[in-house]
Chains A and B, each alone.
Chain A
Amino acid sequence: MPRTLPLRLQFSDFGVVGILAFVAAVVPALNLLTSPESALHVSTFTVTLLGKYLCYALLALAVDLVWGYGGILTLGHGAFFALGGYAMGMYLMRQIGDRGVYGNPILPDFMVFLNWQDLPWYWWGSSSFPFAMILVVVVPGLLALVFGWFAFRSRVTGVYLSIITQALTYALLLAFFRNDMGFGGNNGLTDFKDIVGFDLHADATRAALLAVTATILGAAYIGCRAISASRLGRIVVAIRDAEDRARFLGYRVEHFKLWIFVVSAILAGIAGALYVPQVGIINPSEFSPLNSIEIVIWVAVGGRGSLYGAILGAVLVNFAKTQFTGLFPEAWLFVLGGLFVLATLFLPRGVVGIRRPSWAR
């Protein structure tokens, strides 16, 4: 039996990968190689904004995998995103070294401020980049594994599962607000200086982060496509549509749900880790239940169950958010709610479902 992933590339795959390759290669070049007066110049602000959108897109991709394909409506994926972000934030904090306000070479400022003498055990190793990257994957993955194991084994489904995912992220929000938790309380982790030796405020680093984000998003997209096209992907859809039937075909439904949930949580964690160095801060508000609901709206607006719809939705909604919060900050939540209602009523398959030309199917 050939052990290759069964994936036949579609038109949309070339579209997604092509655009992301363009963003990864051309946008940084336009930022770094053209003069600010040039018509082709892309400002560093735009580069960072794009990078942020692509992190959201990766997060939306993760949610689409578990919701669009698995039918598991998670309203707590922001938690995995934030945990990935915190793992990266810890590393970035340690990179500050003695350049902090208190000049302590080991302890981050907030610990000195709290009069802590030693680094808590869970900060050990955080100054190592490879170790931090392992944490980025392992912490969200492990939480998803434990949470999902209990939830799916008890056959918690539908709206009940959605509610407990909300509770999960809310509980983490409260926990991370506490100073004793050792993650900087409500200020979170910030004032980062550099990443693997590169100045985070330099244009070249910003451009490189965008390129890395776009590349990882592209790889994640292809990975998710391969998963959805594999037999496992079909089984996950089958479980979504007729769970009992799948069970009577001999599939351990819980295992499949758990697997897809953990993979999705890891993707969300990676998205968070890419997000933090680009926006320069991670704080407990990232755990806010509202954030997790927003992700679902991105996916619903873009069109769930297509993967590229999730990417498109995340970018579109966040672009609209940037524009709107600039013009009428108070109106944004109404717009967001309205978008969700409209998408549910009139675009059940999202923006990508509006019209697919026959040559693109």
Chain B
Amino acid sequence: MGKMNDGPMNVAAPGMETKPVADAAAAAAADLLHGAILYLDGITVSFDGFHALDDLSLDIERGELRCIIGPNGAGKSTMMDVVTGKTRPDVGEAYFDRQFDLLKMSETDIVKAGIGRKFQKPTVFEQLPVVVNLELAMRAKKGVWATLMVRLNGEQRDRIDAVLATIGLIDCRHQHAGALSHGQKQWLEIGMLLMQEPQLMLIDEPAAGMTHQEVERTAELLVSLAGERSVVVVEHDMDFVRSIARRVTVLHEGRVLADGSMDTVQNDPKVLEVYLGS
């Protein structure tokens, strides 16, 4: 249990062998942005003179599972806010999938383009059954009139069942989400992300408040998700990070402090000083 062998995620190394995804034309276009699914360059966000992000540059490869760690106030959540359109940076560039300029898009357009976010605190729709939570998250027409008339078709039901199986909630499908345990809510939220079929998933502290077994299952789940999608995890739990990450980025005071494998990062003197050593 919890053992990650091969898997489709040996993709973290720079200069990765990309899968058929990147054909010649795409590769040419990719040149500019390093073939990254997410590309942040020189992002600065300040609140009343305080730099939450300070000239942050970061890119996430297609299919990668990346962990972002850092002490409180390092800018992890602000970075996610910038990517999802919740916060606008003062300067900088942010591109998704080489074509979407995230700084010019609304929150909903960013979701439609294929970025899904799981919040730190599990936020599911407590008064609605588990299946309905997944139904609402499904990639579908999301306009007012469209949602008044639609019903689930067979294919969509199958998709919901598949996600229920992935997140292990098949037996609680008709329960109200509010009745789930904390860990189950976290999974439900990951399931809701999956229903959106995002290309990039941003996951904020998935292991917070989970039991040991739940943490293990969550790690397995995240590892299995990377590959066909890119996953960015912000996490404090170092054991958890060690168990899933191929590549770790350490943020500190709004900048990238170190970047590399867990071992490299852990032995970096700067990191030891500001984070692990403290």
Task: Say yes or no: A230-B147 contact (C-beta < 8 A), given A242-B124, A248-B111, A248-B117.
Answer: yes
Q: Are B123 and A6 in contact (CB-based, < 8 A)?
A: no
Q: Are B149 and A5 in contact (CB-based, < 8 A)?
A: yes
Check A237 for interface membership: any CB of B closer than 8 A: yes
Query: What residues of A have a CB within 8 angstroms of the CB of B143 in the complex?
Result: 252, 255
Query: What residues of A have a CB within 8 angstroms of the CB of B151 in the complex?
Result: 1-2, 4, 6, 231
Check A249 for interface membership: any CB of B closer than 8 A: yes
The 3 tightest CB contacts between A and B, nearest first, are A250-B111, A232-B147, A238-B125
Please give 13 more A-B residue pairs, beta carbons under 8 A apart, in addition to A249-B142, A250-B108.
Answer: A1-B153, A231-B148, A232-B148, A234-B128, A234-B132, A242-B126, A245-B123, A248-B107, A248-B117, A249-B136, A251-B108, A251-B142, A255-B143
Query: What residues of A have a CB within 8 angstroms of the CB of B124 in the complex?
Result: 242, 245
Check B21 for interface membership: any CB of A closer than 8 A: no
Query: What residues of B have a CB within 8 angstroms of the CB of A149 in the complex?
Result: none
Query: What residues of A have a CB within 8 angstroms of the CB of B84 in the complex?
Result: 248
Docked CA distance A243–B39 (Å): 28
Docked CA distance A245–B84 (Å): 12
Docked CA distance A103–B203 (Å): 75
Per-residue CB contact flags for chain B residues 187-200 toward chain A (1 = under 8 Å, else 0) read: 00000100010000
Q: Are B147 and A250 in contact (CB-based, < 8 A)?
A: no
Q: Are A241 and B127 in contact (CB-based, < 8 A)?
A: yes
Q: Are B196 and A249 in contact (CB-based, < 8 A)?
A: yes
In residues 236-262 of chain A, which contact B (Cβ within 8 Å)?
237-238, 240-242, 244-252, 255-256, 259
Q: Are A250 and B126 in contact (CB-based, < 8 A)?
A: no
Q: Are A230 and B125 in contact (CB-based, < 8 A)?
A: no
Distance (whole angstroms) from the CB of B172 to the closest CB of chain A: 18
Docked CA distance A4–B144 (Å): 15
Check B221 for interface membership: any CB of A closer than 8 A: no
Check B208 for interface membership: any CB of A closer than 8 A: no
Docked CA distance A259–B143 (Å): 11
Docked CA distance A255–B143 (Å): 8
Q: Are A235 and B126 in contact (CB-based, < 8 A)?
A: no
Query: What residues of B have a CB within 8 angstroms of the CB of A232 in the complex?
Result: 144, 147-148
Closest to B138 in A: A249
Which residue of the partner chain, among A2, A248, A259, contacts B144 with CB atoms under 8 Å? A259
Check A356 for interface membership: any CB of B closer than 8 A: no
Per-residue CB contact flags for chain B residues 61-92 toward chain A (1 = under 8 Å, else 0) read: 00000000000000000000000100000000
In residues 176-232 of chain B, which contact A (Cβ within 8 Å)?
192, 196
Check A281 for interface membership: any CB of B closer than 8 A: no
Docked CA distance A234–B125 (Å): 10
Docked CA distance A250–B146 (Å): 13
Docked CA distance A6–B84 (Å): 33
Closest to A239 in B: B125
Check B112 for interface membership: any CB of A closer than 8 A: yes
Which residue of the partner chain, among B111, B125, B148, contacts A242 with CB atoms under 8 Å? B125
Docked CA distance A230–B148 (Å): 6
Q: Are A245 and B144 in contact (CB-based, < 8 A)?
A: no
Query: What residues of B have a CB within 8 angstroms of the CB of A238 in the complex?
Result: 125, 128, 136
30 contacts across the A-B interface (CB closer than 8 A): A1-B151, A3-B149, A6-B151, A231-B136, A231-B147, A231-B148, A231-B151, A232-B147, A234-B125, A234-B135, A237-B128, A238-B128, A240-B127, A241-B126, A242-B123, A242-B125, A245-B119, A245-B123, A248-B84, A248-B107, A248-B111, A249-B111, A249-B136, A249-B196, A250-B142, A251-B108, A251-B136, A251-B142, A252-B144, A255-B144
Distance (whole angstroms) from the CB of A127 to the closest CB of chain B: 35
Q: Are A252 and B142 in contact (CB-based, < 8 A)?
A: yes
Docked CA distance A238–B138 (Å): 14
Which residues of B are in contact with A by a Cβ distance under 8 Å? 84, 107-108, 111-112, 116-117, 119, 123-128, 132, 135-137, 142-144, 147-151, 153, 192, 196
Check A227 for interface membership: any CB of B closer than 8 A: yes
Query: What residues of B have a CB within 8 angstroms of the CB of A5 in the complex?
Result: 148-149
Q: Are B108 and A234 in contact (CB-based, < 8 A)?
A: no
Distance (whole angstroms) from the CB of A235 to the closest CB of chain B: 6
Q: Are B136 and A241 in contact (CB-based, < 8 A)?
A: no
Q: Are B196 and A250 in contact (CB-based, < 8 A)?
A: yes
Query: What residues of A have a CB within 8 angstroms of the CB of B196 in the complex?
Result: 249-250
Query: What residues of B have a CB within 8 angstroms of the CB of A1 in the complex?
Result: 150-151, 153
Closest to A6 in B: B151
Q: Are B149 and A234 in contact (CB-based, < 8 A)?
A: no
Docked CA distance A5–B148 (Å): 8
Docked CA distance A88–B150 (Å): 35
Query: What residues of A have a CB within 8 angstroms of the CB of B116 in the complex?
Result: 248
In residues 158-177 of chain A, which contact B (Cβ within 8 Å)?
none
Docked CA distance A53–B123 (Å): 40
Per-residue CB contact flags for chain A residues 1-17 toward chain B (1 = under 8 Å, else 0) read: 11111100000000000
Which residue of the partner chain, among B107, B108, B125, B149, contacts A237 with CB atoms under 8 Å? B125
Docked CA distance A282–B107 (Å): 45
Docked CA distance A234–B192 (Å): 15
Query: What residues of A have a CB within 8 angstroms of the CB of B117 in the complex?
Result: 248
Closest to A305 in B: B127
Docked CA distance A256–B136 (Å): 13
Docked CA distance A2–B149 (Å): 8
Q: Are B111 and A230 in contact (CB-based, < 8 A)?
A: no
Docked CA distance A3–B145 (Å): 11
Docked CA distance A87–B127 (Å): 39
Query: What residues of A have a CB within 8 angstroms of the CB of B149 in the complex?
Result: 3-5, 230
Docked CA distance A256–B111 (Å): 17
Query: What residues of A have a CB within 8 angstroms of the CB of B135 in the complex?
Result: 231, 234
Closest to B109 in A: A250
Docked CA distance A86–B150 (Å): 37
